[in-house]
Amino acid sequence: MPMLNRSPATEEEAISVQLSLRQQCENRSPIDAGSIHIVAGADAAYAREQVFGALVCISFPERKILDQAVGQASITFPYIPGLFAFRELPVLETTFQNLRTIPDLLIAEGHGYAHPRRFGLASHLGTVLGVPTIGVAKKPLTCEVRVPGPDRGSVSEIIDENEVIGMAVRSKPGTRPVYVSRGFGTRLDLAVEIVLGLSGDHRMPEPLVLADRLARKARSDWKAGR
DNA sequence: GCGACAG
DNA sequence: ATCTTGTCGC
């Protein structure tokens, strides 16, 4: 089954795609925490014109690795803040096809609703795959955030245009907070709950740490064999 | 116009 | 994200 999706040719086209898919995203009713048993993390690593994707599924809340997959693609879109999804989406879709397990929830590295148009990578990926998602980013995108308290579990709201669009979460003491938002089929409170349930050993939730390592390994394996 | 700007 | 050794600090 060939993948006929092309990357947008212009920024304007990319933005209109976001505005269109956003409607579809908002249609999906949110899942609840009780239905989450398998959580996946998604990440990518770059080498020149190649990008390597990785997905790792773990059990929740036990954190046992259940399945994982990698994928490779050529880069087809530049990095533009606000349009980041168009850079990583193709390889993550390919990687998802290589996965044997359908996760109950997918964690993307980047923002979901906490986005200028409320449709970041996490929202976009979830909408395209039909899998509930949340976004976890290392930095806020557009708006500044109050700093949460020093204790693990402390949170502060990310507010834009008088709306709470995400949460800064102290996932590990002594490190900078992570920026959490809902994606496709999820709510912010659940997103925060999951992040706190899967972090602590590291600042980022475990599935993202594992996916990051796997993507880097896929890249080094590729470099070694050429 | 200038600076900011997920990864 | 990536290019990259040593180094300051807990």
CATH number of residue A138's parent domain: 3.30.2170.10
Closest nucleotide (CA of A120 to C1')? Answer: B6
Using alpha carbons, select from A225, A223, A208, A161 the residue that is nearest to residue A53: A208
Question: Is A10 among the domain residues?
Answer: no
User: Which helix (H) or strand (E) covers residue A142, if one does?
Assistant: none
pLDDT digits (tens, 9 = 90+) for A125-147: 999 999 999 999 999 998 878 89
Closest nucleotide (CA of A46 to C1')? Answer: C1
Overall number of domains in chain A: 1
Task: Judge whether residue A195 has pLDDT over 80.
Answer: yes
Closest nucleotide (CA of A45 to C1')? Answer: C1
Alpha-carbon distance of A212 to A45, in angstroms, equals 7
Question: Is A119 among the domain residues?
Answer: yes
Using alpha carbons, select from A7, A17, A19 the residue that is nearest to residue A118: A19
Q: Provide the pairing of β-strand A50-59 with A38-47.
A: antiparallel
Question: Is A56 among the domain residues?
Answer: yes
Please, which positions of strand B sit below 7 A from a protein CB?
A: 5-7
Name the protein residue, with chain letter, whose CA is nearest the C1' of B6: A110
Question: Is A144 among the domain residues?
Answer: yes
Task: Judge whether residue A1 has pLDDT over 60.
Answer: no
Q: How far is the CA of A137 from the C1' of C5 (A)?
A: 28
pLDDT band at A189 (very low <50, low <70, confident <90, very high): very high
pLDDT of residue A24: 98
pLDDT digits (tens, 9 = 90+) for A4-34: 678 999 999 999 999 999 999 999 999 999 9
Q: How far is the CA of A119 from the C1' of B3 (A)?
A: 24
pLDDT of residue A216: 97
Where helices occur in A55-84 by DSSP H, the ranges are none
Question: Is A49 among the domain residues?
Answer: yes
pLDDT of residue A57: 98
Question: Is A206 among the domain residues?
Answer: yes
Q: Which two tokens stand for residue A95?
A: 């990687």
pLDDT digits (tens, 9 = 90+) for A37-56: 999 999 999 999 999 999 99
pLDDT digits (tens, 9 = 90+) for A59-83: 999 999 999 999 999 999 999 999 9
Alpha-carbon distance of A64 to A67, in angstroms, equals 9
pLDDT average, residue stretch A205-215: 98
Question: Is A9 among the domain residues?
Answer: no
Our CA dihedral for A38, A70, A22, A12, rounded to 10 degrees, sits at: 170
Question: Is A189 among the domain residues?
Answer: yes
Range of the domain at A67: 33-224
pLDDT digits (tens, 9 = 90+) for A95-130: 999 999 999 999 999 999 999 999 999 999 999 999
**With helix as H, strand as E and coil as C, how does A170-221 read?**
CCCCCCCCEEEEECCCCCHHHHHHHHHHCCCCCCCCHHHHHHHHHHHHHHHH
pLDDT of residue A6: 85
- Report the sign of the C-alpha dihedral through residues A188, A136, A167, A27, in that order: negative
pLDDT of residue A4: 62
pLDDT average, residue stretch A185-206: 98
Task: Judge whether residue A3 has pLDDT over 60.
Answer: no
